Amino acid sequence: MHFKERAHAALSDAQLQQNLQKFRTKFVTKRRESLAELDDFEATREAGRAIRQRTLDNLDAWLEIFETNATARGAIVLWAETPADVNRHVLDIARRHGTTKVIKSKSMVSEESALDAALEGAGLTVVETDLGEYILQINDYEPPSHIIGPALHKSKAEVAELFAKKHGTPRKTEINELCLEARKVLRGHYLSADMGISGGNFFVAETGSVVLVTNECNATLTTTLPKVHVAISGIEKVVATLEDVATLMRLLPRSATGQSISNYVDILTGTKGQGDFHGAEHMYFILVDAGRARVLGSEVREALRCIRCGACMNHCPVYQNIGGHSYGWVYPGPIGSILTPSYIGLENALDLPMASTMCNQCGVVCPVKIPLPDLQRKLREEEFRRQLRPWSERLGLRAWSWLASRPRLFALVTRIGARVLKGMGGRDRLIHRLPLGGGWTEGRDMPASSGRTFRELYAQREASR
């Protein structure tokens, strides 16, 4: 995963650091303001948690109900155990309907399977219609860096240069001009595509529907103009009722972009009926496992409640400083530090559970109350149980554990250590280089100790009362 190397590179990238400022201002502030509109945010948050947990607790039953109701309304439900199965199903559907061009709205699950590459490898034309995803596609399929805004790591100037280069048009300087240029390029693809592929914010069991939440109308056009619509999502995205969706929609846009409601909310049920003005003639649902069933039976099962709002990463001091690409796969930020190791194997993402200050900003803002730091801690514990951490780290923690379990010896050693650290500070009382702790002093100075331990300071305070 090379998390440490990627993180160091991100910290040294001046342009990226400037672009990341938006997470520290725009998203945090707008979320706080929008939550004030709710009469009782914590009660709504608890209701959202309960809704998501209720379906996860009986996921097999709700999936069967969804399949029954979706099939009754003319859709075909397919199951994908692996990411490769997703690509196989989509290619089979494309061959069945003679597809030559595919348009896509944003789908994180399709990123897991590298679906675009598979379709292009089969000779199909693929066009991303989400503005952020489109920007990344024409930039040689650069990976997304955020769940909600895939290209938020780019500045307006960088996008302007890219459009001028790829479209062969004069360089634009205003955001509305860039949006109009993208719209002009994409409009013809909407009208000429044979198949539309979408993700799914929620799959509704009682109606067999998919709910799509967007701000650009691209999902509406992608799913209603082509004759074939394929909706792809993880098995954990099923909710019981449309009433549940209504509750979750009070949380999702406010947590994601600070909006009271998204510009477009599509609820798509079944195939185009007689007399309908628009809609797909053929509708497919692909429900993806790809490690989710394994997570459901693990200690980090609560992570599956995630509704992909991105609030955890918007507020995370680690993500705010290094961006999404440092995390190395589809899901960045605090939720990614749990989902990625759980989906692709802990041994393939050893540093991600450590990519946290444990400040719990992510847990506080999560709209469905996922205890993110607790789950990161469980993965850390598993790494140690499986001896996946470096031997030096494991030896150091064992030594600390041995010492901490012997109070008198611990008190003696810490008294000596406090005095040594005071001496290392010199006249300016700053430690410029810390042996065995170079990570702390590589980019900053560490304040020197006062020369006394907490116990000594506490005892002195008590004695002076």
Q: What is the pLDDT along the chain (465 residues), one digit of tens a residue?
A: 789 999 999 999 999 999 998 776 778 889 999 999 998 999 999 999 999 999 999 999 999 999 999 999 999 999 999 999 999 999 999 999 999 999 999 999 999 999 999 999 999 999 999 999 999 999 999 999 999 999 999 999 999 999 999 999 999 989 999 999 999 999 999 999 999 999 999 999 999 999 999 999 999 999 999 999 999 999 999 999 999 999 999 999 999 999 999 999 999 999 988 888 888 999 999 999 999 999 999 999 999 999 999 999 999 999 999 999 999 999 999 999 999 999 999 999 999 999 999 999 999 999 999 999 999 999 999 999 999 999 988 998 899 999 999 999 999 999 999 999 999 888 889 988 888 777 778 778 889 888 999 999 999 999 988
In this structure, how many other beta carbons lie within 10 angstroms of the beta carbon of residue 60? 10
Angle ∠(334,314,438) on CA atoms, nearest 5? 60
Domain 1-37+304-389 sits in CATH at: 1.10.1060
Asked if 152 and 16 count as a contact pair (C-beta separation under 8 A), the reply is no
- Domain 38-290 class, CATH top level: alpha beta
Domains 1-37+304-389 and 38-290 share a fold: no
Residue 125: beta bridge partners? 101
> 380 burial class (0-12, 13-18, 19+ CB within 10 angstroms)?
middle
Output the pTM of the full model. 0.91
Cα 406 from chain centre: 42
Residue-range domain boundaries for the chain: 1-37+304-389, 38-290, 391-463
What whole-number distance in Å separates Cα of residue 422 and Cα of residue 427?
10
Best CA proximity match to 203, nearest among 323, 301, 143, 287: 287
